[in-house]
């Protein structure tokens, strides 16, 4: 996966910004030097700089609106040094250093400078694909911007207590064949086979056995990401590694809403249930358009 991005010679030392500078922290207002014009000082007022920062952030949001954050995280996970790190007097397992992530993004041309790399890191943080291993907020909110320097982060997929349903949905949707299938005399649209779902999970380095893959698929059923396509099937809440038909719940619900005259897109309830913020909707919309 690390070969997805072209390598370049650009290093963090070529970036003129401080590594400790958070992405959204405005510079403090400086006292005008002797002889400085009032107009020049007025142009550096907090409101002007806030407006400039907001404009720059909107520009970055538009630029990376369709960024494949799932693919990016997979490449980072296969490239960065993920190990146990000591912070203070505590050992944090399966973590990586923010500075190394920033350096990797710049070297692989994911970002051209520190500011952009910090913005992308913030996207991964806000989407729950990574989190601060030391100062993790229990509510899952972004406590502070993603930072370079010696700040420890963990991929959500490396935390046994966190199941990233959206990430595994992406894995499945990228590898299973979704099409209309027949069982008996009835046709079931937009379905895939249970054994295909298992094979898709096995493509991830984190999954070594079919039993582990089956457990992930079961969690996707419990999280209402996928479901048995055949109604009233015996034990339809239990995933079967075989020829049983399954479908993505979000696709079925969304297509039903889109066909309704009163609906013009994903309902707020569907997005909330899946944990999708405004920055995530384009991913689901892209899936529905394919």
- Residues with Cβ within 8 Å of 84's Cβ and at least 6 positions away in sequence, in order, are 91, 92, 93, 94, 95
User: How far apart, in whole angstroms, are the C-alpha atoms of residue 54 and residue 167?
Assistant: 29
Examine the pLDDT at 272 and tell me if it is beyond 80: no
30 CB-contact burial (10 Å; exposed 0-12 / middle 13-18 / buried 19+): exposed
Phi, psi of 132 (to 5 degrees): -70, 115
pLDDT in tens, 68-100: 888 898 889 889 999 999 888 889 888 999 999
Q: How far apart are CA 290 and CA 285, in angstroms?
A: 9
Pair type for strands 245-248 and 226-228: antiparallel
The token pair at 26 is: 């405005």
On whether the CB atoms of residues 127 and 77 are closer than 8 A, the answer is: no
Indicate yes or no: pTM above 0.85.
no
Q: 152-183 pLDDT, tens per residue?
A: 999 887 776 667 777 788 889 889 999 999 98
pLDDT tens profile 181-218: 998 889 999 999 999 999 999 987 778 899 989 988 99
pLDDT cut 70: percent of the chain above it:
64
Q: Is the dihedral of CA 121, 174, 192, 210 positive or negative?
A: negative
All structural domains of the chain: 2-30+66-158 (1.10.10.10), 165-289 (1.10.10.10)
Alpha helices in 80-231 (DSSP H): 98-107, 114-126, 165-175, 194-202, 210-222
Using DSSP bridges, classify how beta strands 90-97 and 152-155 pair: parallel, antiparallel or unpaired: antiparallel
Q: At what angle do helices 98-107 and 114-126 cross, to 10 degrees?
A: 120
Pairwise CA distance, residues 272 & 45, whole Å: 39
């Amino acid at each position: 996966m690390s070969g997805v991005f072209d390598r370049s010679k650009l290093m963090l030392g070529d970036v003129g910004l401080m590594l400790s500078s958070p992405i959204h922290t405005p510079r403090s207002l400086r006292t005008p030097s002797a002889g400085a014009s009032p107009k020049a000082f007025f142009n550096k007022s907090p409101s002007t700089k806030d407006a400039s920062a907001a404009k720059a952030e909107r520009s970055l949001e538009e630029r990376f609106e369709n960024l494949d954050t799932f693919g990016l995280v997979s490449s980072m996970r296969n490239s960065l040094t993920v190990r146990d790190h000591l912070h203070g007097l505590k050992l944090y397992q399966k973590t990586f250093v923010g500075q190394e992530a920033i350096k990797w993004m710049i070297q692989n041309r994911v970002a051209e400078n520190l500011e952009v790399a910090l913005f992308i890191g913030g996207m991964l943080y806000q989407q729950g694909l990574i989190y601060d291993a030391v100062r993790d907020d229990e509510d899952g909110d972004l406590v502070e911007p993603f930072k370079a320097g010696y700040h420890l982060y963990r991929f959500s997929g490396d935390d046994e207590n966190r199941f990233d349903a959206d990430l595994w949905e992406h894995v499945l949707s990228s590898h299973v064949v979704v099409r209309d299938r027949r069982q008996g005399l009835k046709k079931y649209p937009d379905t895939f086979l249970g054994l295909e779902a298992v094979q898709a999970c096995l493509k991830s380095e984190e999954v070594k056995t079919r039993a582990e893959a089956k457990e992930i698929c079961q969690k996707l059923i419990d999280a209402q990401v996928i479901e048995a396509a055949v109604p009233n099937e015996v034990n339809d809440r239990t995933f079967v590694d075989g020829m049983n038909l399954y479908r993505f719940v979000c696709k079925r619900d969304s297509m039903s809403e889109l066909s309704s005259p009163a609906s013009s897109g994903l309902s707020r309830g569907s997005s909330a249930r899946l944990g999708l913020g405004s920055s995530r909707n384009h991913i689901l919309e892209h899936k529905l358009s394919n």
